[in-house]
Structure 1
């Protein structure tokens, strides 16, 4: 990636909106994961699965109505959500792999591991959202 491309990329307001949506939903995912695991005694990987789908719905609504609101919508909200959720499942796979490896092999506490996993899967989620789910 060259500097000119990076500068052009960072001048797009949608990346900042996507980051804000990601931070909000990342925090929500950490809270849900901690709640499900610590208070409901659900295994941490299952807690992430449940929390991830809840935050996928929240993220889709925020991104569809705010981040990519200026993108001409050529498909129905349902179609966009199905695309978004499909690619979110790939992001979930990345997330769970990182979470599992960090927690089980490096023995990092699961909430910290999940925070790192969210950051690792961010790039994939942004590109899939922009190029596929909310493509104009």
Structure 2
């Protein structure tokens, strides 16, 4: 059982679940309590949760020290993620008429593998090995 915790992918999934919950609660707050448009709420919640993701992935997933350089590189990991999740959310809500409360959550699942690969390249540098 202890050996499984050594797997970065498992730790990445745990961080992803926590980060997705954080994102989703922010998203619901923005659309239901602040009355923001669902796409604006999605982008704001995404950006805020990305900061938490940086620290959780640095310390827990890859067990590396966060640096200012990595902090500024980390958003690059989300370029594909936000592009795919935003276009998927738009497609689900505006084209398929799916529920706007659930669609962004489903859309975010599509980009997870890409985010893992790129974040590992940025956060786990040669000096950390």
TM range (shorter): 0.7 to 0.9
The TM-score, its normalising length taken from structure 1, stands at 0.83
User: Alpha-carbon deviation of 1:83?
Assistant: 1.3
**Distance in 2 of aligned mates of 1:64 and 1:124:** 17
Q: How far, CA to CA, are the matches of 2:117 and 2:46 in structure 1?
A: 18
Q: Which residue of 2 aligns with 1:94?
A: 84
What is residue 113 of structure 2 aligned with on the other side?
123
Deviations 1:14-44 (A, max 9, x none): 1011000000010111111111001100001
Match of 1:24 in 2: 18
Gaps of 5+ in 2: none
Runs of 4+ in 1 over 2 A off after TM superposition: 131-136
Provide the C-alpha distance between the structure 1 equivalents of 2:100 and 2:123, rounded to a whole number of angstroms.
Answer: 30
Shift of 1:12: 5.8
2:102 match: secondary structure: helix
Question: 1:7 is matched with which residue?
Answer: none
What number of residue pairs does the alignment pair up?
123
Taking only aligned residues, the RMSD between alpha carbons, in angstroms, comes to 1.8
Q: Does structure 1 conserve the Cα–Cα contact (< 8 Å) formed by 2:58 and 2:123?
A: no
**Structure 1: which 5+ residue stretches go unaligned?**
1-9
Q: How many angstroms does 1:118 deviate by?
A: 1.2
2:59 paired residue number:
65
Q: List aligned pairs for 1:1-136, cutoff 5 A.
A: 13-69=7-63, 77-136=67-126
Give the TM-score normalised by the residue count of structure 2.
Answer: 0.87
1:135 Cα deviation from its structure 2 partner: 3.3
